[in-house]
Amino acid sequence: MAGNKLSTRPKEITFDGRMHIIWHDGAHTIYDYWELRTACPCATCVDEITGKKVLDDSTVPKDIHPVKSAYIGNYALEILWSDDHSTGIYTFQKLRDEYPHSTVAII
């Protein structure tokens, strides 16, 4: 999908127990909150030098959920989680290509 601008632009993002992104190319991806939170890319969760994950997943509540979210420019999403963590910036490219998700269909 890399290289296609529409494939990495969300048309709509909704939250209903999971995060849903409908992309401009018609794909629909679904993200589990806990999996997305434990994949946080911030410097608190991932060592900035080595890139090694330092977050202990067992410290993240299984009932984690977004409290609010905001677009960061035209390239990413910032999420305030119910555990008060908010420093991760989830780029649309990585949401589409790398973060754990399921894909419903491309219409």
Looking at residue 2, its pLDDT comes to: 47
Q: How many CA atoms lie within 13 A of 74 on its CB side?
A: 4
Residues 46-61: tens digit of each pLDDT: 999 999 999 999 999 9
7 vs 56: CA distance, rounded Å: 32
Domain residues for the domain of 87 are: 5-106
Q: What is the domain count for the chain?
A: 1
Residues 51-99: tens digit of each pLDDT: 999 999 999 999 999 999 999 999 999 999 999 999 999 999 999 999 9
pTM (two decimals): 0.88
When pLDDT is averaged across residues 25-37 and rounded to a whole number, the result is 95
Confidence label for 10 from pLDDT (cuts 50, 70 and 90): very high
CATH number at residue 98: 3.30.2020.30
Cα(first)–Cα(last) distance of the chain, in Å? 15
Looking at residue 4, its pLDDT comes to: 57
Chain CA centroid to CA 59, Å = 19
Task: Extract the tokens encoding 1.
Answer: 């999908």
Nearest alpha carbon to residue 102 among 48, 28, 51 = 28
